[in-house]
Structure formats: C-alpha cells, structure tokens
Amino acid sequence: MTTTTIAPEPASPAGHQQEAAHRRTRAVPAPIPFGRIAGIELRKMFDTRSGFWLVASIGILAVIATAAIIVFSDDDALTYGMFATAIGIPMAVILPMISVLSVSSEWSSRTALTTFTLVPSRGKVIGAKAVLTVALGVVSMTAALGIGALGNLLGTSIAGVDPVWDLTAVIFAQTILAQIIGMLMGFMLGTLFRSSPAAIVGYFVYALVLPTISNALVMVNEWWRDNGSWLDLNWASTRLFDNDMTREAWAQLGTASAIWLLVPLLIGLRLVLKSEVK
C-alpha cells in the first residue's frame, strides 16, 4: 500500500495581495462618529473646576441681576428689555471665556496629546468645538431671555403694574447673533494663541481696549466718525440691539467681522491644524 502526498498549490500573487488587503481592512477601526466627539467635547467644557464655576456663575449672576432690577428699579422701568439686558451683560463676558478655554485648555493642560492621539483628525475635534460654541451661545441667550421673562412677570406682579413686553422677535434674534459673535471671537482667540492667559487677555483687549480707542477717535477724527463702523466690530455689532439694522448696517457688520473675526480665525485654524503638539 502506497501513500500519495499532494502538495498544496502555491498561492498566486493576486491571492496574496487580496489576503493582505483583507487583513489591513480588518485592522483599521471604524472612524469615531462626529456626534460622539461633540458629546465628549461638551463634557470637557464643564467637567473642569474653571468650566463648572463659569457655568455656575451664569445662573448666580442671572438671579442677582433679576433681584437687583426688582429691588432697585422704579415701577415704570420694569420692562422685559430691562431684565433681558441686565441678565445678558454678565453672560456676554462669561460665555466667551468658556469658548476661549474650550480650545486653549487643550494646549495649556496638555490634553491635546491625548485628544489628537485618539482622534487624529484635528478638523473633527475643532469642528465639534466650533459647533458647540455656536449652540451654547444660542441656548444660553435663549435661557437668559427666558429668565428675563420670568423676572418681568415676577417684578411687575410685586410692583402691581402691567408687564411690558418691549423686546420684539427681531431684537431677540439679533441679540442671539450678537452673543454668537462674541463667543466666536473667544473661539478665534483660543485657536490663534492656544494659551488660556494670552487668549483671555486678548479678548479683553478686543472687548474693552479697542472700543475705548474707537470712542476716543470718534471725538477727535471726522473720518473715523463717518467710517469707523466699517472697521470697528464692537461698534457695528452694538446696532444689533436696536431696530435700525439697515442694509448698510449689515454690510458694516459683515466687513468688520471679516477683518476682526474671519481672517484671524482662518489663521488660527491653520495654526491649530498644523502646529506641533508638545
């Protein structure tokens, strides 16, 4: 009895290539969904001590501002616009700080090493932060205006006068847009400096120092008095709180936003996407 050994046929080069490609395909994990990245970035905004107290201060200051209007204002000054303005002013300062820290804290606390290792696509992470910045601005200002409505009802009922609803839907939308511009300014400074102290100082220069210089130029320079609203973002965005937003005012807002917001943001995004993480 004899035994016949059959040697296996050698695999063709095409078979080897297909098998290797199949192994590589199985080894590559599925990309992380954008929704999951956004959820993680949202949690990172508030799970630090600074983020928690910034959010807590919004609620605390909203209550203090509402109580101050009720206690110290005259009865004829108890209007919806008064409550909304009193609550919106501290939010206009605090919320941009959150957008600044959402970007700059990645570098200052060196979490970028972990973030961009788990998600190599920096564009997705920065895109999630940008979407959350806009969403937070919309939600927070809507909540502020809601608290203002409750304060108006409470204050007028205590004073025994009829509530005055002097905030139109147009002003409501424009107020939210003004807050979004402020938060995008903080986001832009975070991407541009990638350092929390530098970005915060830069924001206060934008929000306080440059408008002061602009106001001084208005008093001494006729050309600036006539054309400054095309170049001063604070000047152009202040008109959002009024009912006189003409086509020229919108054009001035777009021009000033392109100069002070869009161009620096594009530069900052390029630096974030290309700079070395240490």
Every domain of the chain and the residues it spans: 33-273
33-72 pLDDT, tens digit each:
888 888 888 888 877 777 778 778 877 888 888 888 888 8
pLDDT of residue 19: 60
pLDDT < 70 stretches in the chain: 1-29, 108-110, 112, 277-278
pTM (2 d.p.): 0.81
pLDDT of residue 251: 94
Radius of gyration of the chain (CA): 27
85-101 pLDDT, tens digit each:
888 788 888 888 888 88
pLDDT of residue 88: 79
Question: What CA–CA distances, in Å, run from 10 to 3, 5, 19, 30, 158?
Answer: 22, 15, 14, 33, 93
DSSP 76: G
pLDDT of residue 40: 85
